[in-house]
Structure 1
Amino acid sequence: MLLLVAIGLAMLPLALTLLYRLEFTRPVSMLMLVDRFTFRPFHRQWIDIDDVAPVLVQSVIMSEDGQFCSHQGVDWGALNEVINEALEGERARGASTITMQTVKNLFLWNSRSFIRKGLEIPLAIWFDLVVPKKRVLEIYLNIAEWGIATYGVAAASQAYFGKHPTELSPREAALLTVALPNPKERNPASPGPGMSRLADIIQARAAKAGGHTGCLD
């Protein structure tokens, strides 16, 4: 019986991926489920990716995963670099693609561990195989944590700038993007010097996105 339950739990993300491919579905993240089951209020309003300012899309790709359009869920080059650095005793850095972050948010937990990463990689490959790139990014933008009880770009745009995502300026898009790695500590509406410098870099990269976003056309 326990074996059957374990198999069922293992197969659930694979089945949900097929469901999430359909555009009428609006997936929620594990963090959102925790908030819901513990009766903690949170804010998320689903928005189609075509209703998001292109500069925000460009900013997120150029910051989070510049090879998004060319890899199959996992950036093996970046991942191998991180593994080699870890073996040499260097401080670990992230190598998660947008697809990997999406499956982590949908199906896994937040704390860092080799077990989670080991699950994340095959799930990302499966997700990329089944779900079109544009849909992957749409899901990511709608489930990413952007602050305490704030999920998705629509909620973040309204919370920090009082705007619909179509109205975001290049600077606002860059500031929202810079907040993603540390959403509970970084406030896009009140950036410090360090956050502002990072936003300068992301804004410049977004202006040169070019072919890096070609898979979204």
Structure 2
Amino acid sequence: MARARSFRSSPSRSWPRRFVGWIIRAILWFLGLSILMVVIYRFVPPPITLTMIGDMVGGRSVHKDWMPLSEMDPNMARAAIAAEDGNFCRHHGFDFAAIQKALQGNEVGRKYRGGSTISQQTAKNVFLWQGRNWVRKGLEAYFTVLIETIWGKKRIMEVYLNVAETGIGTYGANAGAMRYFDHDASRMSVTEAARIAAVLPLPKGREATDPTGMVRRYGNRIAARTGPMQRAGFYGCLK
């Protein structure tokens, strides 16, 4: 009677399987932890971001003072939308028309505001690092889908206005208002909100109290947009 043969996996076969197993487990852990973080931050203010840590490592002090959206003057959210993402209430995280316009502008050498939405900027600011590379952009898209699904527009705007850099070492509209105007963000004029919004694209190189420079001119344009946009219903998701 023939003896049964026993087969054992050779090391050359087991290593690829183990490696694939590690990759699958790492992906599952990442998915689970990332979703858990997004759920937690739906209710809890993010305590710190990588950008803030970078400032502290560089020897800068960090100034931030969380303020709920319900307490913040509505002028601030309106100015942010007018300046950074006019279709914030109308898209689901990605403004493909703005992305296409930015790409076309880059092709012909013109400078356009980037195609990133407020949702994308919030995902980057809270969960990722600054800089431009395809890995970060891919993760940014992933977290954008998560926060659009789990947080909703009001929470996205609330977190954005509390973690966005509004000056050197200054984070959030409330800390920005106290830095520039000596009062908190619960009462802001259209002009004040617009000037803080004008700082957002380049917070380390602009000052909201610059009386005659580019910030004032850009702020005036933002302020002029807010009224017509409000009448046209561009802020409806914040009600």
CA distance in 2, matches of 1:54, 1:134: 12
Tell me which structure has the larger Cα radius of gyration. 2
Aligned sequence identity (%) = 35
Shift of 1:176: 0.7
Q: 1:165 aligns with which of 167, 179, 185?
A: 185
CA distance in 2, matches of 1:12, 1:74: 24
Normalised to the residue count of structure 1, the TM-score between the two structures is: 0.89
Please give the residue correspondences for 1:123-138 in structure 2 after superposition, counting only pairs within 5 Å.
Answer: 123-138=143-158
CA distance in 2, matches of 1:16, 1:183: 27
Q: Which moved more, 1:190-199 or 1:138-147?
A: 190-199
CA distance in 1, matches of 2:31, 2:110: 32
SS of the residue aligned with 2:91?
A: coil
Q: Which residue of 1 aligns with 2:235?
A: 213
CA distance in 1, matches of 2:238, 2:49: 23
Aligned length: 214
Q: Which residue of 2 aligns with 1:66?
A: 86
Shift of 1:5: 4.7
Q: Which residue of 2 aligns with 1:14?
A: 35
Please give the residue correspondences for 1:117-128 in structure 2 after superposition, counting only pairs within 5 Å.
Answer: 117-128=137-148
Identify which of structures 1 and 2 has the higher relative contact order when contacts are C-alpha pairs closer than 8 Å and 6+ apart.
1
Is 1:83 paired with 2:76?
no
- Residues 132 and 6 (structure 1), Cα distance of their counterparts in 2 relative to 1, 3 Å cut: closer
Gaps of 5+ in 1: none
Q: Deviations over 1:81-127 (max 9, x none)?
A: 333444x3434640010000000001111112233222212321221
Query: Residue 139 of structure 1 aligns to which amino acid in structure 2?
Result: V
Shift of 1:158: 0.5
CA distance in 1, matches of 2:98, 2:79: 19
Query: Residue 51 of structure 2 aligns to which amino acid in structure 1?
Result: L
Please give the residue correspondences for 1:1-217 in structure 2 after superposition, counting only pairs within 5 Å.
Answer: 3=23, 4-5=25-26, 8-9=29-30, 11-22=32-43, 25-27=44-46, 28-35=48-55, 40-86=60-106, 88-91=107-110, 93=112, 94-210=114-230, 211-217=233-239
Gaps of 5+ in 2: 1-18
Normalised to the residue count of structure 2, the TM-score between the two structures is: 0.81
SS of the residue aligned with 1:146?
A: strand
What's the C-alpha RMSD, in Å, of the aligned pairs?
2.2
CA distance in 1, matches of 2:119, 2:96: 13
- Confirm or deny: 8 A CA contact 2:208 2:216 kept in the other structure: no
Query: Residue 128 of structure 1 aligns to which amino acid in structure 2?
Result: E
Q: Which moved more, 1:29-38 or 1:162-171?
A: 29-38
Shift of 1:132: 1.6
Shift of 1:35: 4.4
- Residues 123 and 46 (structure 1), Cα distance of their counterparts in 2 relative to 1, 3 Å cut: same
Q: Deviations over 1:137-175 (max 9, x none)?
A: 000000001111111111111011101112211111111
